């Protein structure tokens, strides 16, 4: 064997061992995977993947409670509509850092973009599982473009934004692979990519709300409003802020060994800065939602059970986290800020479920309740996302720092 | 059309305007409360030491413990209060001459304390435009006002914005100093960490207390000039 071949062989071995197996021998690596968390993950995947196989071999009817009256169920409400909102952290932080110049948030940008990217990949996976004939997904772009349909716009936006998120995250992958030249070329396109990403997000986050404008008779009047696109867009910002606080806290605890001790990341300062923004956006969102009710004039519905549910969403999951965020900023209380972030994320989930599932078809006598297999498949998709997130963060420079942050622009 | 039907759109509009006005009126106290001075920082990790340090607004710290403050006459450079507490009374300063070019991160000036000389790294790049004669004449008095009268020299910067981006300011600066202190505790007196959050001050010239034999190496490691 020539010296070159030996060198190549050694380099290939070193790549697999150092980059993929975290510097461990294959046996050691496999042994390191035996953790309680991985046992739980394996159990979820072992139960969920057969359900996904069943869905594709036996059809939607075999695993779901979907019907002609309820063609959109848990997967659309949770994996697609909620998933897009919860993945909004990427464009929220990217906009703050690169457009508004808030460099303080640079240390959490990559993790936010990775969460956004994986979030949108999961939206796509959820959509493929949910669509009766998923292979027809590209038809809307090329074969049967419905240029006046909201779905057409959402489809294009999500498709393009997925590419943009891949490009936004690519620098971390290129640094990991040691492709510095390509990374520098991509670095020069940063601002253009970020602006495109923010524009596409503004369009489709609001358009997801616009879906429901065509169903004024089906959506309960307390949630239906001509301002639904505005509601969805503004609340996606709150979801993004909440998710970035939540995700950065969890990541910095779970992946402490990934942090650069010399970077001196002021995570508390970042959390409190995001909390200030969260307080203001939620405060405005509360009044915008009130305007929606004022426009319909259906104040009488507040005295019903639906009214109590609506008031719980408004007071408990919009106004309350706004005030909690404000108190956290006033007291510089990071724990309170994290609690407010969790309430905010739950509030956005609650809103998306209300609009797309709970208050939708509210007059029908037989309500849809998701089948156990639907819940399991959703859980499987989220678990896959967590596994991929962990795999990437353990290998690529996601938390260890951004090149720009390290001053080597 | 009866009178109620005629007025109903106006009533709806009145409510909408009412909500908008209520939002604006409530936004004023909400904004004021949100931007009022913070009462206290929650104690966690290195923040237990944060109250020991004071970093004024406008000061940017380098990891080597020199600071920079952009001013109309140029960028003033000095030493943070950690250095003063760490090395003790400064006996002499060795400053660059006017016209000398310094570069961020490179050694640019020196101090003498406890009979030992130490170099420090420049927080910004630029050309030295003046030096503080009072600092040269009375180096022992520098610690009384490290971020004010304790400035050492001024530079005309040539890459100020990118330079400032790699420095610590405000909360990050205090956290940096707090972490530097915490790491000292961890290295020499980890058992004292639990007591430290009850309050205290760094002993003046603590480096000599911590490691009497190799204290100069300890100082150089903290000033990143080892």
State the Cα–Cα distance between residues A45 and A169, nearest whole angstrom. Answer: 27
Please answer whether residues A295 and A227 qualify as being in contact, where contact means their C-beta atoms are separated by less than 8 angstroms: yes
The total number of structural domains that make up chain B: 2
If we measure between CA atoms, which residue out of B164, B143, B177 comes closest to residue B55? Answer: B177
Per-window interface: B 14-33 vs A, CB < 8 A: 15-16, 19-20, 22-23, 27, 30-31, 33
State the Cα–Cα distance between residues A11 and A4, nearest whole angstrom. Answer: 10
**B23–A407 C-beta distance less than 8 A:** no
Categorize the per-residue pLDDT at A409 as very low, low, confident or very high, splitting at 50, 70 and 90. Answer: very low
Residue A249: the pLDDT is 87
Give me the percent of chain A exceeding a pLDDT of 70: 91
DSSP string of A356-388?
IIISBTTT-SS-----HHHHHHHHHHHHHHHHH
CATH number assigned to the domain covering A33-393: 1.20.1630.10
**B22–A269 C-beta distance less than 8 A:** no
Q: Does B63 touch chain A (CB under 8 A)?
A: yes
If we measure between CA atoms, which residue out of A197, A200, A209 comes closest to residue A234? Answer: A209
Residue B88: the pLDDT is 85
**B41–A329 C-beta distance less than 8 A:** no
- Same-domain check for residues B142 and B176: yes
Secondary structure of A299-360 as H, E, C letters? HHHHHCHHHHHHHHHHHHHHHHHHHHHHHHHHHCCHHHHHHHHHHHHHHHHHHHHHHHHHCE
Residue in chain A lying closest to B35 (CA): A330
The domain of B53 spans 45-222
Mean pLDDT of chain A: 88
Residue with tokens 């150092």: A18
DSSP string of chain B?
--HHHHHHHHHHHHHHHHHHHHHHHHHHHHHHHHHSPP--PPP-GGGGGGGG----TT-EE-TTSEEEEEETTEEEEEE-HHHHHHH-S--EEEPPPTT-EE-BTSEEEEEEETTEEEEEEBSS-EEEEEE-HHHHH-GGGGGGSTTTTT--EEEEESSHHHHHHTSEEHHHHHHHHHHHHHHHHHHH-GGGHHHHTT---PPTTHHHHH-TTTHHHHHHHHTT--
> Residues of A274-312 as b/e, b for ≥16 C-beta within 10 angstroms?
bbbbbbbbbbbbbbbbbbbbbebeeeeeeeeebbebbee
**And the tokens for A296?**
């319909």
CA distance A67 to chain B (A): 39
- Same-domain check for residues B23 and B135: no
**B22–A287 C-beta distance less than 8 A:** yes
Per-window interface: A 231-260 vs B, CB < 8 A: none
- Same-domain check for residues B88 and B195: yes
- Same-domain check for residues B24 and B99: no
Q: What is the pLDDT of residues A343-400, one digit of tens each?
A: 999 999 999 999 999 999 999 888 899 999 999 999 999 999 999 999 998 888 887 6
Q: Does B42 touch chain A (CB under 8 A)?
A: yes
* Nearest-by-Cβ selection for B172 from A264, A276, A334: A264
Angle, CA B46 vertex, CA B45 and CA B48 arms, to 5°: 90
Residue B194: the pLDDT is 47
**B40–A326 C-beta distance less than 8 A:** no
Question: Chain B contacts of A335, Cβ < 8 Å?
Answer: 42
- Same-domain check for residues B25 and B62: no
- Same-domain check for residues B86 and B106: yes
Which of A403 and A196 is assigned the larger pLDDT?
Answer: A196
Please answer whether residues A242 and A345 qualify as being in contact, where contact means their C-beta atoms are separated by less than 8 angstroms: yes
Please list the rounded mean pLDDT of every run of 10 residues in chain B (226 residues).
57 87 93 73 48 76 91 89 85 92 90 91 92 89 84 89 81 80 70 48 71 84 81
Q: What is the pLDDT of residues A276-288, one digit of tens each?
A: 999 999 999 999 9
Residue A384: the pLDDT is 94
Number of Cβ atoms within 10 Å of the Cβ of A226: 12
Categorize the per-residue pLDDT at A4 as very low, low, confident or very high, splitting at 50, 70 and 90. Answer: very low
Number of Cβ atoms within 10 Å of the Cβ of A176: 15
**B176–A268 C-beta distance less than 8 A:** no
Which of A42 and B167 is assigned the larger pLDDT?
Answer: A42
Q: What are phi and psi of B75, to 5 degrees?
A: -100, 120
If we measure between CA atoms, which residue out of A251, A281, A262, A253 comes closest to residue A108? Answer: A251
Which of A64 and A255 is assigned the larger pLDDT?
Answer: A64
**B168–A287 C-beta distance less than 8 A:** no
DSSP A192: H
Residue B43: the pLDDT is 40
* CATH of residue B146: 2.40.50.100
Question: Chain B contacts of A329, Cβ < 8 Å?
Answer: 34, 38
Q: What is the pLDDT of residues A55-107, one digit of tens each?
A: 999 999 999 999 988 889 999 999 999 999 999 999 999 999 999 888 888 88
Q: Does B92 touch chain A (CB under 8 A)?
A: no
- Same-domain check for residues B31 and B62: no
Which of A166 and B37 is assigned the larger pLDDT?
Answer: A166
**With 70 as the cut, is the pLDDT of residue A263 above it?**
no
Number of Cβ atoms within 10 Å of the Cβ of A2: 7
CA distance B42 to chain A (A): 5
Question: pTM to 2 decimals?
Answer: 0.68
Locate the domains of chain A by residue range.
33-393
State the Cα–Cα distance between residues A373 and B57, nearest whole angstrom. Answer: 57
Residue A3: the pLDDT is 44
Rg of chain A over CA atoms, in angstroms?
23
Could you tell me the sign of the dihedral formed by the alpha carbons of A132, A137, A142, A147, in that order? positive
ipTM: 0.76
User: What separation in angstroms does the CA of A253 have from each of A23, A103, A271, B83?
Assistant: 22, 22, 14, 31
Q: Does B98 touch chain A (CB under 8 A)?
A: no
- Same-domain check for residues B123 and B202: yes
**B34–A280 C-beta distance less than 8 A:** yes
């Amino acid at each position: 064997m020539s010296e070159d071949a030996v060198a190549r062989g050694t380099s290939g071995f070193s790549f697999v061992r150092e980059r993929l197996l975290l510097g461990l021998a294959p046996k050691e690596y496999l042994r390191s995977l035996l953790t309680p968390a991985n046992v739980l993950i394996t159990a979820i995947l072992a139960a969920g993947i057969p359900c996904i196989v069943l869905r594709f071999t036996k059809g939607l009817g075999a695993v779901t409670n979907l019907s002609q009256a309820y063609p959109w169920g848990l997967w659309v409400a949770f994996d697609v509509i909620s998933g897009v909102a919860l993945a909004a952290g990427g464009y929220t932080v990217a906009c703050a850092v690169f457009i508004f110049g808030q460099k303080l948030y640079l240390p959490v940008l990559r993790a936010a973009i990775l969460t956004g990217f994986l979030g949108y990949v999961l939206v796509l996976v959820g959509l493929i599982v949910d669509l009766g004939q998923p292979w027809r997904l590209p038809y809307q772009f090329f074969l049967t473009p419905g240029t006046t349909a909201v779905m057409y716009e959402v489809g294009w936006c999500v498709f393009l934004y997925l590419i943009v998120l891949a490009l936004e995250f690519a620098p971390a992958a290129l640094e990991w692979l040691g492709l510095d030249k390509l990374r520098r070329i991509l670095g020069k396109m940063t601002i253009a990519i970020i602006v495109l990403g923010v524009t596409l997000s503004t369009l489709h986050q609001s358009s997801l709300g616009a879906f429901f404008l065509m169903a004024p008779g089906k959506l309960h009047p307390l949630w239906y409003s001509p301002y639904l696109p505005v509601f969805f867009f503004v609340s996606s910002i709150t979801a993004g802020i909440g998710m970035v606080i939540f995700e950065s806290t969890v990541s910095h605890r779970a992946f402490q060994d990934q942090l650069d001790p010399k970077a001196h990341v002021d995570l508390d300062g970042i959390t409190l800065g995001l909390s200030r923004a969260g307080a203001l956006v939620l405060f405005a969102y509360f009044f915008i939602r009130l305007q929606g009710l004022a426009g319909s004039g259906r104040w009488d519905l507040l005295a019903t059970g639906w009214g109590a549910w609506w008031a719980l969403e408004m007071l408990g999951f919009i106004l309350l986290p706004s005030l909690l965020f404000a108190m956290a900023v006033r007291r510089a209380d990071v724990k309170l800020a994290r609690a407010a972030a969790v309430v905010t994320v739950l509030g956005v989930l609650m809103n998306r479920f209300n609009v797309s599932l709970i208050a939708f078809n509210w007059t029908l006598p037989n309500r849809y309740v998701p089948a156990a297999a639907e819940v399991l498949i959703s859980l499987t998709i989220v678990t896959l996302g967590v596994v991929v997130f962990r795999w990437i963060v353990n290998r690529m420079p996601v938390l260890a720092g951004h090149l720009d942050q390290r001053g080597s622009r | 059309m009866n009178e109620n039907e005629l007025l109903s759109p106006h009533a709806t509009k009145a409510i909408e305007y009412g909500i908008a006005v209520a939002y604006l009126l409530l936004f004023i106290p909400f904004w004021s409360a949100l931007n009022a001075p913070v009462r206290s920082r929650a104690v966690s990790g290195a923040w237990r030491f944060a109250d020991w340090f004071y970093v004024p607004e406008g000061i940017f710290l380098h990891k080597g413990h020199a600071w920079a403050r952009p001013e109309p006459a140029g960028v003033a450079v000095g030493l943070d209060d950690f250095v003063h507490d760490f090395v003790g009374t400064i006996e002499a300063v060795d400053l660059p001459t006017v016209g000398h070019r310094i570069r961020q991160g490179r050694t640019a000036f020196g101090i003498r304390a406890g009979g030992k000389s130490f170099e420090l790294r420049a927080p910004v790049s630029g050309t030295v435009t003046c030096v503080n004669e009072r600092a040269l004449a009375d180096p022992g008095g520098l610690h009384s006002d490290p971020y004010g009268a304790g400035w050492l020299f001024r530079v005309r910067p040539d890459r100020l914005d990118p330079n400032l981006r790699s420095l610590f300011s405000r909360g990050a600066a205090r956290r940096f100093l707090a972490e530097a202190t915490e790491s000292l505790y961890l290295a020499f007196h980890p058992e004292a960490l639990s007591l430290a959050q009850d309050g205290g001050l760094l002993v003046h010239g603590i480096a000599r207390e911590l490691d009497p034999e190799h204290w100069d190496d300890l100082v150089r490691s903290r000033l990143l000039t080892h």
